[in-house]
A and B are shown apart, each in its own frame.
Chain A
């Protein structure tokens, strides 16, 4: 079945540095990629929607200059957390979609110290 490979699965970084999270769709072409984050005891919250070859659409309250999304091809989308701060520590997860549904990556646990 469809698989989205997400890397890294966990990362610890220093405050002020940038972290890149990569999602690759295997065996299918993800025309649209959704990026979510989940804080403890909260729901998965949509951050942004990206379509291949175009700019991402960000949800209200999500800083587009801080969370850079690149969807350069139908099989690769990246999220870069720039100038990370401790409050950015969260679980980030991507979801690729085609005509048949949504397939999630395994998620990235980001800890900013």
Chain B
């Protein structure tokens, strides 16, 4: 049973436009959500996170939105840049900190110059 779902395996966006990556989760115990970016042959790097007490968190070009009732979160990248081309993983945990993280399958984003 996949508790964190990223239903779009890939996404192509024109440079300068907005990229929207979606993620759904099924476990209502999750209260901390993270997005990671991964380049080929490298480990995932942390991008942005959000606690369930918030519905939005912004960091520069990256904004994460959380809809708890729908068990849905999304990552918005605006404006998109070619260097943003990577695989983006949505992840969730219970009470953050030392708890294990459950990952989605990832969405490959390609930003076209």
Contacts and interface: CB of A to CB of B under 8 A. Distances in A.
Interface string B88-104: 01000000111011111
- Size category of the binding interface on chain A: 20 to 34
A62 B101 CA distance: 17
Contacts of A101: 46, 49, 96
B105 A43 contact: yes
A95 B101 contact: yes
Contacts of B98: 31-32, 97
Which secondary structure dominates where chain B touches chain A?
A: loop
Interface of B: 2, 4, 34, 36, 41-46, 49, 89, 96-98, 100-106
Interface of A: 4, 6, 9, 31-32, 34, 36, 41-46, 49, 93, 95, 97, 99, 101-107, 109
29 contacts: A4-B43, A6-B43, A31-B98, A34-B100, A34-B101, A36-B103, A41-B105, A43-B4, A43-B104, A43-B105, A43-B106, A44-B44, A44-B103, A46-B100, A93-B43, A93-B44, A95-B101, A97-B97, A99-B97, A101-B46, A101-B49, A104-B36, A104-B44, A104-B45, A105-B43, A106-B41, A106-B43, A107-B43, A109-B41
